Amino acid sequence: MTAIHRTPSRGLASLLVPLLAGGLVVLALGVYGRAHTPTGHAVGVAGFSAALPMKAWLTTGALVLAFVQVVSALSMWGRLGIAVPPGVHRWSGRLAFLLTIPVAFHCLYALGLQYDVPRVLAHSLLGCFFYGVFTAKMLALPKRDTPGWTLPVFGGLAFTALVGLWLTSAFWFFTAVGIKV
């Protein structure tokens, strides 16, 4: 068996496009969120009493699926000693991402990027960061010459951002307003 020698600069160079694209997503969402005049109108709350419960529950669903992502990733990398069925990681990630789309759309369209309240500022910035790091991870995924730490770090950052988003939104809603549907 021959050893594969990766040159550090080659592996890092392969991250240039994913990182630039992720950075552009962060910047574009932030600029749009700040420049766009928020409508203040709820969008797509079918099945929910209002926009805030919809966002809280969809974000909670995404968070639960993010935990599935962590467990299935650890299993795929042989860190748990248990096998997770094939496709669980991929499909839980897809579903988690899909659950975030109506939430992000509502946040950007109806509310915009806000900076008056520290919790809301943190939430706005975490939202932009989440989509940027998610973009970088998805673009780095098919590249075989990236450093071995790429996917765990990008995945960990996406997970951390999603936890932060949940804490600054759904957790806040459930503790300040109550559990409503």
Residue 50's pLDDT band, with cuts at 50, 70 and 90, is confident
Q: What is the mean pLDDT of residues 119-139?
A: 96
| Domain ranges, ordered by start, for the chain | 30-38+49-176
Question: What is the rounded distance in angstroms from the CA atom of residue 104 to the CA atom of residue 112?
Answer: 10
Confidence band of 1 (pLDDT split at 50, 70, 90): very low
Confidence of residue 81 (pLDDT cuts 50, 70, 90): confident
Which of the pair, 158 or 81, is modelled with greater confidence? 158
Residue 97 has pLDDT above 80, yes or no: yes
Residue 86 pLDDT exceeds 90: no
Helix ranges (DSSP H) in the chain: 8-13, 16-35, 51-76, 88-106, 118-140, 150-167, 170-176
What distance in Å separates the CA atoms of residue 168 and residue 141, rounded to the nearest whole number? 29
Q: Rounded to whole angstroms, how far apart are CA atoms 107 and 38?
A: 9
pLDDT band at 3 (very low <50, low <70, confident <90, very high): very low
Q: For 124-138, what is the mean pLDDT?
A: 97
pTM score of the predicted model? 0.88
pLDDT of residue 17: 93
Measured distance CA(53)–CA(170) in Å, rounded: 8
Total residues belonging to the chain: 181
The model's pLDDT over 67-77, given as tens digits with 9 standing for 90+, comes to 999 999 999 88
What SS3 class is residue 142? coil
Tell whether the model's pLDDT for residue 114 goes beyond 50: yes
Please report the pLDDT score of residue 9 as a whole number: 55
Report residue 144's pLDDT band, with 50, 70 and 90 as the boundaries.
confident
Above pLDDT 70, what percent of the chain? Answer: 93
**Among 123, 129, 125, residue whose Cα is nearest residue 165:** 123
**pLDDT higher at 180 or 90:** 90
Quote the pLDDT of residue 151.
92
